[in-house]
Every structure is written in structure tokens, then in C-alpha cells.
Amino acid sequence: MIRLTEVTKRFGAITAVDRLSLQVEQGEIFGLVGPDGAGKTTVMRLLTGIMEPCAGQIEVLGRKMLEENKADIGYVPQKFSLYGDLTVRENICLMGALYGAGREEVARRAGELLAFTKLLSFQDRLAEHLSGGMRQKLALAAGLIHRPRLFFLDEPTTGVDPVSRREFWQILYRLHREGMTVFLSTPYMEEAELCSRVAFMQQGRIVACDTPAGLKKAYPHHVLELPAAGKRLAQHLKNCPIMEINAFGDKYHLIVDQPARVIPLITAALQQAGLPPVPPVEIPPTLEDVFVTLASEVV
């Protein structure tokens, strides 16, 4: 469905995408993750034909002329881009008309999508009066009006409440079961876990790409979990052989290479600092552990 070969995109002296190669297969939910400024949105715009690369080759749906893909792809950009002074139904119908569908077909398809996205009871509300979650559902419905084979979504749930995010993903999974290929970027690791495959992007490059299970299995370090024991934990453990200390809610994840040797040292350091000498417990790595370490290792 998608093939990028040594693709580069520069903006003046800034290289946003750096010799990137990537392949996405039919029927995948492919997730692109990475910090702000990694190049995720630029990749999305290159794939949808909004931008042209400075070098390299892009094929989408087997075509090198991306202009020919408009009828077969859907795109939900990061920023809500529909019309606030139109109703939910009017926005969806407008998108259908722009793709050349007839009035009756647009009306039928709009009704299906309103029911599918649970927006039917809000169809006469102006888009500017929708909540963040409902706006994203409207953008999703508008992007689906022409039945695309390949759907691009750029951080579609950023700023959306947890309930709306869950409903949004239920919709994506239903589309996936119906055979649609989905390519999305997300800042949320729990969403990355739901993808068929995930690529981590840093400084314009893909530094790791695999299934979520494969990425965690290949993680070369060990993760120790320790209850929060004060804000100065890093200082108290500075003499212990710990690679990273990352806060996870009310706990810390300590990244180490030799847990059997390090755990007694950590316990002794806590006791010496006057803190409860609770030994850390080794846990399986999360995707967030994997990507935090990858981000720190990329120069």
C-alpha cells in the first residue's frame, strides 16, 4: 500500500525527513510515533501528495503519481479543518459533493456515517459548537464519505477525552475489520499498542519498526519498578549503575542491565537516604520504556 525509498524532505537548512525508507502492507493499522518535531506530519503530507520530496521515491497504492490517489485515500489532519459555520451533516455532504458523488448517494452515505460515528443526534449542530471528541468524529466521517482504501490520520485523538478516544478507536477497528488500511501518527503509547506495527521516528529517521510485541521483546535492557520515594530519587541513587530513571505516575521505572546486582544496591541506597528500603520489582518493558530509551540513544 505504501513504499518510501530513501525519501528526504528539507525546509531550508532543516532536514525534516532524512533518507527514510518504509513499507506498509494492505490491511495494517500502522502507527508512527515520535517526539514533536520528529517529522511525522511531514511524512503524512508527503504520502498524501500535499508536499513533494526533495529526494527519494514514494509509491502509494502502487502509484508514483500521488495526484491519482485522491479518490482512494482519506486524510484527517492534525488541526480540525472543516467548516464551523456548517452543521455536522452539511460538512459531511459537502465533502461528498466535492468528491463528485450524486445528491442521493451523498445523503445515503452521510446517514450511514452519522450512525456509524454516533453523531446522528448531533447532525444539525454547527461544527463550531461540538466538543473536541465530536469534532474528531466529524473529521473522521468526512474523510470516509468517499469510501477510501487507505486512511491517513495525523494525531487524531490529541486533546480528546479518554471516553471519546476509546470510541474513536472502536471505529478504527471496525474499519480495519472491513479491510481498510490505516496509517496514523499518535503521541499516546497506549494507542501505539493497538497498532499492527509501529515505527518510532526521531530526527527525521525511522529508528525502530516492528509489532508492539516485537519491539518490547527486542528491548535490550531490564525495567525495575519502584514506588515514588521523593523528588530527589535520582540524587539518592546516583551511585547505583542505573541507565535511566523515568517517572510513571506514582512510580519510577529504572532502566538497568544487571538487575540481580543492582536491586540490593538500590535498596541500600534508599535505606541510607532515610527512605523506605522497598526493593524494586522487575517488570516487562512497556512501549513507553522502549521509546524513551530509543529517544535518549539517538544522537
Say what the pLDDT of residue 229 is.
Answer: 65
Cell of 25: 502492507
pLDDT > 80? residue 228: no
pLDDT band at 79 (very low <50, low <70, confident <90, very high): confident
- Comparing 3-12, 51-60, 73-82, 177-186, which segment has the lowest mean pLDDT? 73-82
pLDDT band at 298 (very low <50, low <70, confident <90, very high): low
pLDDT > 90? residue 103: no
Give Cα separations from 98 to 5, 70, 174 (angstroms): 32, 11, 25
Tell me the percentage of the chain whose pLDDT exceeds 90.
66
Nearest-angstrom CA–CA distance, 49 and 43: 10
Assign domain 219-297 to a CATH class: alpha beta
- Look at phi and psi of residue 274 and say left if phi exceeds 0, alpha if psi is from -120 to 50, else beta: left
- Look at phi and psi of residue 286 and say left if phi exceeds 0, alpha if psi is from -120 to 50, else beta: beta
Among the listed residues 75, 70, 49, 72, the one whose alpha carbon sits nearest the alpha carbon of residue 139: 75
Contacts of residue 170, defined as CB under 8 A and 6 or more positions apart, other chains included, come to: none
pLDDT > 70? residue 176: yes
Q: pLDDT: is 100 or 271 the higher one?
A: 271
Nearest-angstrom CA–CA distance, 248 and 178: 36
Helices (H), ranges, the chain: 40-47, 88-98, 103-116, 132-144, 162-177, 189-192, 212-217, 233-236, 259-272, 287-297
Instruction: Parse the chain into domains and list their residue ranges.
Output: 219-297
Residue-wise pLDDT tens digits, 189-202: 889 999 999 999 99
